[in-house]
Structure 1
Amino acid sequence: MVPVAAVTAVAAAHIVPAATWLPRFRTACLPGLAGVGRPGHVALTFDDGPDPESTPHFLAVLDRLGARATFFVLGESVSRHPELTRHIAERGHELAVHGWTHRRPWLPAPGRDVRETALAARVVHEAAGRRPQWYRPPYGVLTSGRWAAARCAGLRPVLWTAWGRDWTARATPDSVRARVRADLRGGGTVLLHDTDRAASPGCWRAALGALPGLVAACRDAGWEVGPLSEHGLATARGT
């Protein structure tokens, strides 16, 4: 029988790093993980795609705004929609890894984390023609296993400094804008979602409606808007 103390120690080692999910703690103590970059730039990021129903709408709006972003995609969705994934890259956006599926990480599974993260990085590379640099775990829960898996795959974990809570059933364009702007600063990283895959049905429309106003607010403040690759963060490969 495995001693209780050993089980407790393994569980703690697995889940304690997930405290980085707490936004104020993360931004104050681990600004690099939070995505704090150069002061004159705001990184715009989207999670959970690609989704053929909703992602093209975001690409169209970004085209109209003349803005580029980083899309944290799920490997499983990339394998189903490689042409859409390629299209994201062809429109000038950056692709990053959000895992293979949107599985909750409560139980330790380091071997699976390594395999699935590496597989997700590979299918993104194959679809986009460029090796991804960044990793954001589903739900923003960065366990020790997922941290190690990202590093093994040559990816740097990056979370966010501002989000829109755009995954809820009550989200509206106004609520998303207000929630992001409450924490919006130069050098910040904004989290939105270009799909309702892991959220309330249709909630992506709130993020889509908020997008023009958020980009305008950044530009009015004198901040550039762009992908993480232009945000001034070092990658896992040190470039």
Structure 2
Amino acid sequence: MSVCALAGAAAHIGPAGTWLPPVRRSLFPALDGRGRPGHIALTFDDGPARHSTPYFLDTLDRLAVRATFFVLGRALLEAPDTGRELVARGHEVAVHGWDHRRPWWPTPLRDLSELRRTVAAVGAVCGVRPRWYRPPYGVLTGGRWAAARRVGLRPVLWSAWGREWVSGATARSVADRVGRGLHGGGTVLLHDTDRASGADSWRVALQALPELVECCRRQGFTIGPLRDHGIGVENARPGGQEQTGRLC
């Protein structure tokens, strides 16, 4: 392989090292979803889907919680009514990409085209301009990072996830996993659909929601969308604002 090819491969896959939680926590706190110490950001990926997302909206209404939904452009056009309902109920819409493909090969022009297409779909369907971008699988390649900047999106991953798609996962295991990994100022990742995971895995996340919210509130944390999370410049530098407290 030539030097140029090696350099191109490094530029493509090198930034994806931020998928590793220790790397994000120590070097990129804002990418890790670190915000105000007294706040927990609640986020969902892979939707919207008519067969599952409305259940999350109803549960979040009962819990009086708003969240950020990272939508896929293709899914949004398949369920535009659900996308509009997200906004009508006060939730924040962010970008997860056009579809849930793996980024093993550099495709910078496709990355840019698909993000622009998804941003346009969010505007047309939901009537809002998205602010945040989370790539599928959390793999933020160089091409995806550059494309996000070109279209005015800010990348953010997560501080803790429920892994509800794992075989044998239960509402208890999801709550326990999130509780072990999350502190005040962190960002939670769940999924409101099984579009890219095992059938009905979204039901496990849905069942875990009330316990997660109650746990946050018992610890004195507020819980809400990324727009209220306070991810700022001070949190984007190593040595920035530290998380305090532990969820559960």
Structure 2 distance, partners of 1:63, 1:197, is 23
Aligned-pair distance for 1:169? 2.4
SS of 1:167's equivalent in the other structure is coil
Q: CA deviation at 1:166?
A: 1.2
Instruction: For 2:99, give the aligned amino acid.
Output: T
Residue 92 of structure 2: aligned partner: 94
Structure 2: distance between partners of 1:7 and 1:29: 27
Answer yes or no: is the 8 Å Cα contact 2:96–2:134 preserved in 1. Answer: yes
Please name the residue that 1:22 is paired with: 20
Q: Residue deviations 1:85-107, cap 9 Å, x none?
A: 00011011000000000000010
Letter in 2 for 1:228: L
Contact 1:74 1:100 in 2 (8 A): yes
Normalised to the residue count of structure 1, the TM-score between the two structures is: 0.95
Q: State the partner residue of 1:208.
A: 206
TM superposition shift of 1:82:
1.1
Partner of 1:74: 72
Name the residue aligned to 1:115: 113
Contact 1:74 1:99 in 2 (8 A): yes
- The alpha carbon displacement at 1:172 in A equals 0.9
Offset, 1:233: 1.7
Gaps of 5+ in 2: 234-248
Equivalent in 146, 149, 152 of residue 147 of structure 2: 149
One-letter amino acid of the counterpart of residue 166, structure 1? E
- The CA deviation at 1:72 is 0.2
Aligned partners of 2:164 and 2:202 also within 8 Å: yes
Cα displacement (A) at 1:234:
4.0
**TM superposition shift of 1:4:** 2.4
Identify the match of residue 32 of structure 1 among 30, 55, 80.
30
Return the offset for 1:161: 0.4
Describe the SS at the equivalent of 2:70.
strand
Counterpart CA distance in 2 for 1:113 and 1:16 is 16
Partner of 2:47, secondary structure, is coil
Letter paired with 2:87: A
Pairwise CA RMSD of aligned residues?
1.0
The 3-state SS of whatever aligns with 2:82 is: helix
How many corresponding residue pairs? Answer: 233
Trace 1:49-68 onto structure 2 (pairs within 5 A): 49-68=47-66
Letter in 2 for 1:94: E
Match of 2:244 in 1: none
In the alignment, which residue of structure 2 is the partner of 1:179?
A: 177
Identity of paired residues, percent?
59
- One-letter amino acid of the structure 2 residue matched with residue 102 of structure 1: H
Q: Distance in 2 between the 1:208 and 1:24 partners? A: 28
Residue aligning to 2:129: 131
Larger displacement relative to structure 2 (206-215 or 6-15): 6-15
1:229, 1:128 → 2: CA distance? 16
Supply the distance in 1 between the matched residues of 2:80 and 2:139 (Cα, whole angstroms). Answer: 26
Q: Which runs of 5+ in 1 are unaligned?
A: none
Aligned residues of 1:169 and 1:201 also touching (Cα < 8 A) = no
